[in-house]
Structure 1
Amino acid sequence: MIKDALYAFVIGDAMGVPLEFMSREKLNQHPVTKMIGDGSHNLPKGVWSDDTSMTLATMDSISTTHAIDCDDIANRFCDWINYAKYTATNLVFGVGKITQNALFRYWNQKKDATKCGGTSYLENGNGSLMRMLPIAFYCYNCHLNSKEIYSIVKNVSSITHAHEISILGCYIYVCYILLLLSGKNKIDSYQLLSQQDYTMFSSDSLEQYKRILSSELLSLSVDEISSSGYVVSTLEAALWVILHTDSFAQAIIGSINLGNDTDTVGAITGSMAGILYGYSSIPQKWIDSLEGKDSLNSYLSSFVHTMDNNW
């Protein structure tokens, strides 16, 4: 399952990179259905972004420490942003301002990493949501309860994004991944989201996710879905695509053609689709086009070994 989800995540990320910031109107006129290069960042096809880099850094930390060590994770994020570790082509690009500011605070002050994330309402981008996939697998393998999951998600999100809305988005995403990993189908998993434990969160934050937690996404049209970098919109978009498509390729193509924050929406959608449809459902030509597969496979192998042998 880890390979299925991670490769699907990276595929969604890489396919979304050249389309980032493009409008939905433009993509409706000229939809993208294959791995392409150039585009928004003028990069070769198959290059992944910060979504995958921070996910690999998180995996590497867990593989090394056999724990959730937020300072260690933050140090690895700094290795990425300062030295281009965990990148596909030794190039760092597209780093979110909220993430950049938080890591700057950590790098310069060496304070508790969980105290470095942005805390204002305006700092609720998707920069912590995009790196939660390894946390979901950690929680699944450790058989954690809701309070334990919340504690880990809160701490890991708070390295860069400490506002409750961001933490709640990460928590909902992890819960959905855990439901899929338990073998439930996509619809049942979605409808069960409303029954998870949210007693740790304020009513104001829960209101932001009303459309997700009320099962409203099942009846919304694509025109009612935003695909911006706001954490709520990103999660809504990914879930909406999953609920309204029936194959891996449909999910990825559907997600990246929403426009705007295409790499993160593609990556989050991909992680879900990978669990649902499996690695074998990913078109081989998309896998062949990925840059940095040796590095990707190395971090994947270590993480799988850790998950298989330590719990």
Structure 2
Amino acid sequence: MGLFQFFHSRKLESGPVKVSPHPIAQDKLKAVMYGLAIGDALGVPYEFQQRDTFTCTGMVGHGTHNQPAGTWSDDTALSLATLDSFTECGGKPDTADMLMRYQMWLKHGMYMPDGKTFDSGITVATAIRSGHGCDGLDDNGNGSLMRMAPCAFYHLTDEEIRQVSAITHAHEISMTACVQYARIIERLLNHVPPYKTITDSGFPFDPTIPRTEVKSDGFVLHTLNAALWCLSNTDNYQDCVLAAVNLGEDTDTTASVAGALAGAIYGFESIPQEWVGKLRGRELIDMYVSEATRKR
């Protein structure tokens, strides 16, 4: 039995899970986690491809990373690691524990569908290996934003969210964007209209800009803006994530961020069941969601 299988078998055999004192609605957490994972898996085959050189219409495999259809990447894996840490630490943002779980992902493929890590960003890998978040101006990729969705469920302060970002991305730009993203998800889950939610977050956003002006590279502010643009210019989960993938470039992260937002609004039932059925490793999502929402 490999390390990946051993770890998860031990989790399934373990005793009572340490849960947050704040009750978490399982349906909402499931919607957000599946929302981001489906978006991630849709985008994986097209990562780094230029806009309008391809058209994504559904779940396919191979492409950029030569992965089977339905394979998620670091976006989902590190989101699951973050969620797992919250569960094991009683809903508290224990950054040392999170770092340990991120190291298990990077070194041993933990939280991946088949125990194999691929597509790690430079800043993420550097920070995880060194144990120190990167804080240079050039260290403002979307590698902390992509794993921030679970923070929306734990009533964290802004500073606590910033600390979670700073495990890998410690520059003010990245930390602030992570706070804004988490707050947007929180309010969407509480049925606040999207436009008011975005406005209240303080993130500068114009939903009326043309698609040609929406940047979808790896810069954290571009990723958040692109995901919000897709959310604001569609009216259902499927169209939102497909719009995100078809922006090109950092397709998996843009679509995972957009997918978490769309999942928060439209719910799990809005996600095409064909895509859910093709998602590899979905039993891991079910397990971590169940553990996070289990009562004492």
**TM-score, normalised relative to structure 1:** 0.84
Contact 2:36 2:259 in 1 (8 A): yes
User: Partners in 2 of 1:83 and 1:193 — Cα distance?
Assistant: 36
Shift of 1:136: 1.1
Greater percentage in helix: 1
The equivalent residue for 2:124 is: 99
The answer to whether residue 88 in structure 2 is matched with residue 74 in structure 1 is: no
Matches within 5 A, 1:281-292: 281-292=270-281
Q: In structure 2, what residue type is equivalent to 1:280?
A: E
* Residue deviations 1:133-152 (CA, integer Å, cap 9, x gap): 1111112xxxx5xxxx2111
The answer to whether residue 292 in structure 2 is matched with residue 303 in structure 1 is: yes
Q: In structure 2, what residue type is equivalent to 1:258?
A: L
User: Partners in 2 of 1:55 and 1:172 — Cα distance?
Assistant: 17
57, 69, 72: which is aligned to 2:81? 57
* Residue deviations 1:260-283 (CA, integer Å, cap 9, x gap): 001000000000101111111111
Shift of 1:130: 0.5
- Percent identity, aligned pairs only, is 38
* Residue deviations 1:76-108 (CA, integer Å, cap 9, x gap): 0001111111101111000001011111112xx
The answer to whether residue 49 in structure 2 is matched with residue 22 in structure 1 is: yes
User: Partners in 1 of 2:190 and 2:35 — Cα distance?
Assistant: 18
Shift of 1:25: 2.6
User: Partners in 2 of 1:9 and 1:97 — Cα distance?
Assistant: 21
User: Partners in 2 of 1:102 and 1:158 — Cα distance?
Assistant: 9
Aligned residues: 268
Q: In structure 1, what residue type is equivalent to 2:235?
A: D
The answer to whether residue 209 in structure 2 is matched with residue 220 in structure 1 is: yes
Q: In structure 1, what residue type is equivalent to 2:190?
A: S
**TM-score, normalised relative to structure 2:** 0.88
User: Partners in 1 of 2:29 and 2:51 — Cα distance?
Assistant: 31
The equivalent residue for 2:6 is: none
The equivalent residue for 1:6 is: 33
The equivalent residue for 2:66 is: 42
* Residue deviations 1:20-75 (CA, integer Å, cap 9, x gap): 00100302xxx111000001000100000000110111111111111210000000
Shift of 1:188: 2.2
Q: Report SS of the residue matched to 1:260.
A: coil
Matches within 5 A, 1:219-298: 219-298=208-287
Uncovered stretches (5+) of structure 2, i.e. residues with no partner: 1-27
112, 116, 122: which is aligned to 1:87? 112
User: Partners in 2 of 1:133 and 1:263 — Cα distance?
Assistant: 15
* Residue deviations 1:209-267 (CA, integer Å, cap 9, x gap): xxx42x4x222011111000000100010000000001111101100000000100000
The equivalent residue for 2:186 is: 178
Q: In structure 2, what residue type is equivalent to 1:286?
A: W
Q: In structure 2, what residue type is equivalent to 1:152?
A: E
User: Partners in 2 of 1:286 and 1:119 — Cα distance?
Assistant: 37
Matches within 5 A, 1:172-211: 172-194=180-202
User: Partners in 1 of 2:197 and 2:81 — Cα distance?
Assistant: 28
User: Partners in 1 of 2:222 and 2:130 — Cα distance?
Assistant: 27
User: Partners in 2 of 1:120 and 1:224 — Cα distance?
Assistant: 26
Shift of 1:181: 1.7
User: Partners in 2 of 1:45 and 1:20 — Cα distance?
Assistant: 14
User: Partners in 2 of 1:25 and 1:97 — Cα distance?
Assistant: 26
Contact 2:33 2:285 in 1 (8 A): no
Q: Report SS of the residue matched to 1:218.
A: coil
User: Partners in 2 of 1:3 and 1:283 — Cα distance?
Assistant: 14
Q: In structure 2, what residue type is equivalent to 1:82?
A: K
Q: Report SS of the residue matched to 1:229.
A: coil
Shift of 1:186: 1.4
Shift of 1:167: 0.3
Q: Report SS of the residue matched to 2:207.
A: helix
Contact 2:52 2:246 in 1 (8 A): no
Q: Report SS of the residue matched to 1:24.
A: coil
User: Partners in 2 of 1:275 and 1:174 — Cα distance?
Assistant: 11
Instruction: Please report the RMSD computed on the Cα atoms of aligned residues, expressed in angstroms.
Output: 1.1
